[in-house]
Amino acid sequence: MKCLVAVLICVVLAEGVKVPLVRHKSMREALREKGIELPYQDPALKYRPEFATSAYMYINNYADTTYYGAISIGTPPQSFLVLFDTGSANLWVDSVYCNTKACNTHKKFNPQQSSTFTAKDQSFYLRYGTGSLYGIFGYDTVTIANIVIPKQEIGLSTKELTENFVLAKFDGILGLSYRALSAGGETPVMDNMIADNLLDENIFAFYLSREGKEGSVVSFGTVDTSLYRGYIYWTPVTTENWQIAVEGFQINGRETGWCSQGCQAIVDTGTALLAAPARFISGIMQVIGAKENQYGMFVVDCSQVDNLPVLYFVISGVPLPLPPSAYIIHQLLDGKPSCSVGIFPTFLPSSEPLWIFGDVFLREYYSIYDRTNNRVGFAEAV
């Protein structure tokens, strides 16, 4: 009996019978079977992290609604889970200065336990689509994977006004948008990475897993070619909040004309669904055949999902498809299977009809955010 050295280890019992012992797969091997290849990283970086020029980290996927991961703040480091959000620009975490219910259900940053913390005499107010908070600013060392950012501005919450953050899986939000969107004019994390020359390339990228599965990735300074197939389609940023132009909107390949005079879209990892201009909602639901239920949700017959139309967004001349498997959300409602449309209206003021490309859209595409060239890239996600 022969045993492959790379796969099995053999032991010999007293009777001389060889019994193979199965070796457990490494994390790299297990992920490779799922089509995810871990890029090589210099193991010596754990001794000299200041020489890191890229960061690659797995982030959590909670029910396809929230993508978050661990960072550390302070010296010695205090670890926090943060939502990685391209739709905002500030970094903040819950702090010991906050005693509202939302703060008390999460880990709190204690600046008195950090030798590198510096207070800043400035307060802030932040409002999101699903919550708001007050806080104060300070400076401290922030570590993301193997990238160390000294003297990063951080927000420490003092009062969270809504219940929405109570059930949140994260302790704060790390904004990845431009400084123009930053409350208090604070310097965002990405801007400090660029200013300190911490990255090989001034880019970051997202791969968002589906169906609540593991494997979501955010990377800084590098692109992982194993997480997408085909070409990267680039489009310029039109406004410094990761906003891009949409030249057309098609249904099953036929142009609707709704964006014939131009539309805009904000690419936002912090928004769970796809937001459409309010004026388009009734037309979209009519074509899809969705009906509004008693809860205000638009639903379809689950048996007909495969027959629903494919939506296309024409970006820099390229039609990017969004199949029904992406925009229909399967869930239980009153204990029964239900299929709702993951598209909701937005009423944000804009000179052109405004979409928000949230996670419903971004799960279909590996998205790359290029600060050097002020552009966004989309490639078909694996």
At 314, list the tokens: 């024409």
Give residue 346's identity as a one-letter amino acid code.
T
| 17 and 10 Cβ atoms separated by less than 8 Å | no
Rg (CA), the chain: 23
Active-site residue (options: 94, 140, 191, 268)? 268
At 5, list the tokens: 């050295």
Within a 10 A sphere around the Cβ of 104, how many other Cβ atoms? 12
Within a 10 A sphere around the Cβ of 380, how many other Cβ atoms? 15
Active-site residue (options: 85, 94, 191, 370)? 85
| 67 and 60 Cβ atoms separated by less than 8 Å | yes
Vertex 135 angle, CA 134 and 141, to 5°: 150
Between the two ends of the chain, the Cα-to-Cα distance in Å is 40
Burial label, 142 (beta-carbon count in 10 A; 0-12, 13-18, 19+): buried
At 234, list the tokens: 């680039």
42 in catalytic set: no
Which residues are the active-site residues?
85, 268
